[in-house]
């Protein structure tokens, strides 16, 4: 159920009211992921949408096995409303860091908790088919070893050095010997939706999102690996 709804987010055939309903549920899931559990009145105020509409979306997300009822809220006075939040094991995300002499792979649940990780996997990054196939082999082996249900994995994010267009999925520095985007090759080999990003950009935003910064909106992240990379965040972007 949950996989169907989340795949709907990428379905261009939806429009009008149906599309708005999908976007609202996406915003609710994002709110739970970043702010934590909340009540229906609080969500109604946050999104400036009627309580009945929020209630309808919450019930649909519960049916989709993405959200759970946490029981009565402990905040406020008077009659306590129910609090709702993400169902952690409803879906998973895989992150892969490709360095020049090793791979690191991690799996996170819907609450952004790390449930499995493996670092320093031996690998030599070279611009050839063997190196590319080894990345795919190690990712598939990691998923199988840790018994992660593949149909619950919503996406794989791969961080790779060099010039990358994350919108199109093309890499211009490594594995650029196909006409199709590199992300498409990974999707065929892994049978999972795959996203590519430059490693320094991804690491910079990962640090920014982890809460290591407080009120700062501008930051520089220096990535010292085989060479030196730089990720720049301005006004949180």
Whether 155 and 186 have beta carbons less than 8 Å apart is answered as no
Q: Is the pLDDT of residue 84 over 60?
A: yes
Q: How confident is the model at residue 229 (pLDDT cuts 50, 70, 90)?
A: confident
Task: Tell me which CATH code domain 2-89 carries.
Answer: 1.10.10.10
Question: Cα–Cα distance between 93 and 95 in angstroms, integer?
Answer: 7
d(CA 16, CA 12): 12
Structure tokens at 49: 């949408």
Under the banding of pLDDT at 50, 70 and 90, the label for residue 8 is low
Do 26 and 9 contact (CB within 8 A), yes or no? Answer: yes
Domain locations in the chain?
2-89, 91-204
The model's pLDDT over 143-191, given as tens digits with 9 standing for 90+, comes to 999 998 888 898 999 999 889 999 999 999 999 888 899 999 999 999 9
CB within 8 Å of 76: residues ≥ 6 apart: none
Mean per-residue pLDDT, 46-55 = 93
Residue 9: its pLDDT value, please?
A: 60
Lowest mean pLDDT among 2-16, 100-114, 121-135: 2-16
> Would you state the structure tokens that stand for residue 117, as one six-digit string?
């990780």
Given the candidates 3.40.50.300, 3.40.50.10470, 3.30.1490.20, 3.30.420.40, the CATH classification of the domain at 91-204 is: 3.30.420.40
| Predicted pLDDT of residue 195 | 94
pTM: 0.78
């Amino acid at each position: 159920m949950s996989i169907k709804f989340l795949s709907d987010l990428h379905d261009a055939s939806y429009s009008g009211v149906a599309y708005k309903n999908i976007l609202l549920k996406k915003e609710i899931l994002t709110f739970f992921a970043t702010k934590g559990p909340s009540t229906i009145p609080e969500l109604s105020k946050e999104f400036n949408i009627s309580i009945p509409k929020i209630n309808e979306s919450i019930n649909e997300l519960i049916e989709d096995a993405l959200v759970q009822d946490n029981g009565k809220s402990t905040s406020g006075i008077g009659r306590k409303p129910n609090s709702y939040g993400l169902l952690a094991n409803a879906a998973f995300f895989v992150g892969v860091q490709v360095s020049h002499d090793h791979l690191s792979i991690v799996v996170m649940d819907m609450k952004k908790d790390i449930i499995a990780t493996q670092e320093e996997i031996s690998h030599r990054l070279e611009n050839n088919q063997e190196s590319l196939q080894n990345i795919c082999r190690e990712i598939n082996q990691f998923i199988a070893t840790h018994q992660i249900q593949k149909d619950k994995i919503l996406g794989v994010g791969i961080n790779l050095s060099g010039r990358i267009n994350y919108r199109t999925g093309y890499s211009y520095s490594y594995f650029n010997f196909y006409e199709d985007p590199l992300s498409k090759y990974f999707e065929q080999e892994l049978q999972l939706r795959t996203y590519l990003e430059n490693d320094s950009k991804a690491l910079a935003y990962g640090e920014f999102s982890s809460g290591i910064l407080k009120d700062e909106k501008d930051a520089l992240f220096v990535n010292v690996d085989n060479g030196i990379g730089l990720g720049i965040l301005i006004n949180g972007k």
